[in-house]
Structure 1
Amino acid sequence: LLAFFPAMILLLSILPHTPLDTNAVMDALLLFFPGETVSLFELTVSDLLEKSHASILSIGFVLTVIYASSSVNAILTGFNASYLLEKKGSALVYYLISLVLLVILVAMLGLSVLLIGFSGQGLTWLSNNGWLPGELVPWLNVARWTLSLILVYFSVSILYHFGNPERDKWRTITPGATMTTILIVLLSVGFGSFITYLDSYNRLYGSLGTFLLLLVWINANSSVLLLGFEFNVSVHKARNEAKSHLQSGSKST
């Protein structure tokens, strides 16, 4: 959770060096954050896009790396706890693994952000200038959303694989990763619709209420991530028990 806000500051500090404007960035954020929570970033986005903050960029990078790698390490520790195991080995090794996972996850999720947030405007621009047939735009929009979901799915699968202390071989498609991806999508859509109808709540608490709702949304997604891993653990144990019963039955015969 502590890594979220430095990461947002880092990302927004890079934006002044791109040709993007405030409206394009806000449209992209609207696709990822539910309801009115995106309003928390509006003033910050405008300020960072109009001015270049080199010091904020460097501080945001350092804080993001520290907190985000610690967050990944905490997630792996939580996954180990699902197997009732303690992490073995050097803490430095686990920290380095967390850094590698962080780089992979940031790359995949960053590509997903670009696909959802900015490729839509590119397709519209190409279509308006006659460089892309208009009938292809809906299909390409479906393709970019599908590819973005696949990237999210693989990000979850990577976490589940390295968080499994009994991993033997890579399993790209798992029941837990499938359930987690579906629940994350449903949670974001449902949470956004829920916040839309909380006008009285927003009027009472203002930006503080929006901030609290954003924290609830982040916490809910974290719980979904753990729930999906627990589901994988249950399926794995059930399969092992079934195999042991079959082997014991074959030996008795």
Structure 2
Amino acid sequence: MRAAAVSFNMFISLFPALIFLFTLIPFIPIDGFQLELFKILENVLPASAYELFYETITDTIMQQNTKLLSLSILLMIYFSSNGIMSLIEAFNKTSHNIETRKSLNLRIVALISVIGISLLIMLAISLIVMSNTFILKFFSHHPEILSKGILVTLTGVVKWLIVLVLYFLAISILFYFAPSKKNKFKFISPGAIFATFLQVITVLGFTFYVNNFAQYNKLYGSIGTVIVVMLLIYISSLSLILGFELNASILHGDKTFREKKV
């Protein structure tokens, strides 16, 4: 139930957040930024979900629309922070914490989390573009070191390592700063590691299943794409909650052990 509640709010916040992110792209002075972002989305999302976003995304990033950017910022601030606030509520219930922060303070925490995650996404894409450019330029001057096939593999490995590390940092930010009561875990926690790998495995597995076996579009028509997106968000939300629950369980077990020992 907690994952379902988080999924609904995340789904509502998804489109404003994407519009905001893609409206920013023309203002980012890095060649190949939007192309690399498209590649990552195409690799991660099911084909039907990618097609749902593609037209809206391309229309948005073709021009630097200041008015659209301003509207997107306002929408993103409200809806995206709602999504984070629902996640915070789920974390508090998992660890049996009572929310003591005022509504405004909670909104600020959620907003800071959204901004931090957005910056991490842009940093990830920027690092991928720059690392790919560096690798290609370096080995173009030293072709005797690696073959073309190995070079392609190397750039792919570097890209996904960057995505994985920064994705882990985003989850760690949520686990560390979002709950009402700070736990005893450090910034890098077992739950964050577990949630990262669980989310990567389940999302990629679900994407493979949808692309190769599922027939959502044939069964439900155009609404099948929306169902796919909702299921994808639900899986991601469930992975986050399970990761945080692992942290809470470890802390509870450690507390129980110390009490029995005394």
Return the TM-score normalized by structure 1.
0.83
2:164 maps to 149
CA contact (8 A) 1:191 1:217 kept: yes
2:26 and 2:63 in contact (8 A); partners too: yes
Q: How big is each residue's C-alpha offset from its partner over 1:198-253, in whole Å with a ceiling of 9 and x where there is no partner?
A: 4643244444211220111011101111111112111110011112222x2xxxxx
Letter in 1 for 2:194: M
Partner of 1:46: 58
User: What letter matches 1:31 in structure 2?
Assistant: N
**Structure 1 residue 119, shift from structure 2 partner:** 5.0
Out of 9, 13, 35, the residue aligned to residue 3 of structure 1 is 13
Please, which of 171, 174, 178 is the counterpart of residue 159 of structure 1? 174
Deviations 1:7-62 (A, max 9, x none): 11112222334555975553232133234310112222332233443322211111
Q: Residues 188 and 89 (structure 1 numbering): CA distance in 2 closer, same or farther, change over 3 Å? A: closer
Q: Please tell me whether Structure 1 or Structure 2 has the larger radius of gyration of its CA atoms.
A: 1
The equivalent residue for 2:86 is 74
> Higher RCO, 1 or 2 (CA under 8 Å, sep at least 6)?
2
CA RMSD of the aligned region, Å? 2.8
TM-score (structure 2 length as normaliser) = 0.80
1:197 is displaced (CA, Å) by: 2.1
On the 8 A contact 2:172/2:192 being kept in 1, the answer is yes
Cα distance in 2 for residues equivalent to 1:28 and 1:37:
13
- Structure 1, unpaired ranges of 5+: 249-253
**2:137 alignment counterpart:** 126
What stretches of structure 2 of length at least 5 have no aligned partner?
1-9
Distance 1:199 1:148 in 2: 27
> Could you tell me whether the CA contact under 8 Å between 2:17 and 2:76 is conserved in 1?
yes
- Percent identical among aligned pairs is 24
Deviations 1:55-101 (A, max 9, x none): 22211111001111222222112211123232113222222222222
Q: 1:206 to 1:111 in 2, by over 3 A?
A: farther
Question: How many corresponding residue pairs?
Answer: 246
